[in-house]
Amino acid sequence: MISEVIQRDRLLRIPYFQRRYVWERKDWERFAMDMESTLDSESNYFLGAIILKDETTSLQDRRNGVGRKQQVIDGQQRLTTLAIYMKVLHMMTNRKQDFDNQYLQGTQLREPVIAHGCEDAQDFRKIMHLETPQEHIEGAGNIIDAYNFFREYLEKAKSQISLEDLLNTVNSSVTFVGINLTREDNEQRIFDTINSLGVPLTTGELMKNFLYEAEDEDVYNRTWKLVFDTDEARTFWESGAAKSRQEKSKDNTIIERFFHAFVRIKMWDFKDQLTKSQGKNFVKISNVFETCKAFVEKFGMNKQELAQEILTYAQLYREHLSEDILDTRIPKHSGIKRISCLINATQKYAVIPYVLYVLNTQKDELERTAIFDFLETYLMRRILADSESKSYSEMFPESFISNRLTTAASLKDFIMNKSPEVNLAMPANGTIKLKVKTRTKSIDERTARLVFYMYETKLTSASEGSFTGGYNDYVSETLMPKVTKADNPHWPKHRDNTHKEEERKQQIGTLGNMFLVKAEGKKELKKTSESDCPTKVVTLQKWSEGVRSNTILEHLTSWTKENIMSRNDGLADVMSRNIWTI
């Protein structure tokens, strides 16, 4: 029963390295309905297993009336929810004193017998010390929200059921399975096993638990917490995810992306101790946490040294690779901001490990800039040449980092010495010209937008004031519309020539048929997407202020496949020979 787990003289301490309270409305609703179901059930309600580890009680603990102190290894979400629910239920049945006698210590301060870590302690203590069931408590955080939910839920429920009966049945029928560990048991290994298999913790949460023990709290507060666990930090690291935690995959949050990049950097310190098969397993995103642990347990790294490396790279990531770069006008001249825009716009995250490696190992700013200048040229030429493959995505950590390419000269030599038929080779000007107009797959809007955006920002500086927006302020639009099933009198199909029709479809999807325009004109452009050429040209011009690659629109009266091919040739020439040159 509850009274066997939650007692006035028993302190249940939730360690600081565990995650914050994360239950949400759907969890509270199910919990409340389950508690209500005890009114009609003749059997006990099983709330799950609680894993606790005995800790030494201090003199101060005993003065506070604590006869036994235990660390909560698993079950903190359920225990916290139960305490909040019972607090509301006790207050609404005028049995606050009964609650205090069980859930609060017997000292003058009356601290809760469930002691939260620093993240949730203030809100939890506030709820536990309420005198009356206030209608609504202002504040951010799931603990406050849980209280407001249960107060509202039980307020509605009391017209249908007896809250007094509900309190009695919950107290007498809710049961736990308690698993008590001794002081000698390894709680971290148990915590890892439970949470890595059954609960969707982030790699960051698992790493925090692995790297920091209870006695490391001061170090954690001065280091890890500042980088990963403040509210501002969480907003950054948890962005890019699906709205629902259950919908998250291992690769769609920045925190998972970062740790995947980190292991793809760090593993090369131990390449001589790894077989090829081990190396492949080490870099699988599903194995990231185990790989980080192996750096300590297999290769003998000190935990705090590993933590410091993670923190160093994490700070570099936050400073230089934020997705906010897509809302900012990037500089004309080469550097990390242009590379960050390229990575975030294309979502080619395989580049990140090498970029972080350069940021950390190359301290000379001029040399860094030279590296990023050549890297931009290489990446943009590959985009123009449509040179994508799986081995290419694996290239950056496997080739660039393992070969310690930390200067522009070494990077250039490594790339330029690759023979043309090798996948990692730098695309030649002729290859780019050919591929720009003969792509086998249509260029997507995002890629076309990036190519033009990177090109335009190379032509003018932000201070000139003619092209001032960020990547997200623009979209790419086609002039000749994509072929649809419906007939379009302005852009008729080649009904008598299948080859010409297929050729036309291919040309529509090339860079030459794309134009960069301001995103705010997207709705108007959509309305004219199937219009005749003069109408589309006027609309494209209207939203092309400052876009130099759109000057062709000024005197355009018709648009054919020949126009598209000619523009493809011109764009390929200027981009490969004047902008991203080798």
Q: What is the pLDDT of residues 424-482, one digit of tens each?
A: 889 999 999 999 998 878 899 999 999 999 999 999 988 888 899 999 999 999 999 98
pLDDT of residue 247 exceeding 90, the answer is no
User: pLDDT digit string (tens) for 480-513?
Assistant: 998 776 677 788 777 777 787 788 888 999 999 9
As given in the structure block, the two tokens for residue 540 are 């494209």
The CA distance from 211 to 512, in Å, is 53
The average pLDDT across 233-254 equals 63
Residue 204: predicted pLDDT = 86
Residue 353: predicted pLDDT = 95
The CA distance from 546 to 551, in Å, is 9
The average pLDDT across 218-247 equals 76
- Residue 39 is given by DSSP the state G
Residue 188: predicted pLDDT = 55
Residue 280: predicted pLDDT = 76
The average pLDDT across 370-389 equals 91
User: pLDDT digit string (tens) for 553-564?
Assistant: 998 989 998 999
Residue 492: predicted pLDDT = 78
As given in the structure block, the two tokens for residue 5 are 């787990």
The answer to whether residues 114 and 79 touch, using CB atoms and an 8 Å cutoff, is yes
Query: What is the pTM assigned to this prediction?
Result: 0.78
Residue 194: predicted pLDDT = 58
The CA distance from 412 to 246, in Å, is 44
User: pLDDT digit string (tens) for 168-202?
Assistant: 999 999 888 778 877 666 555 566 555 544 445 67
The CA distance from 61 to 8, in Å, is 12
What number of other Cβ atoms are within 10 A of residue 250's Cβ? 16
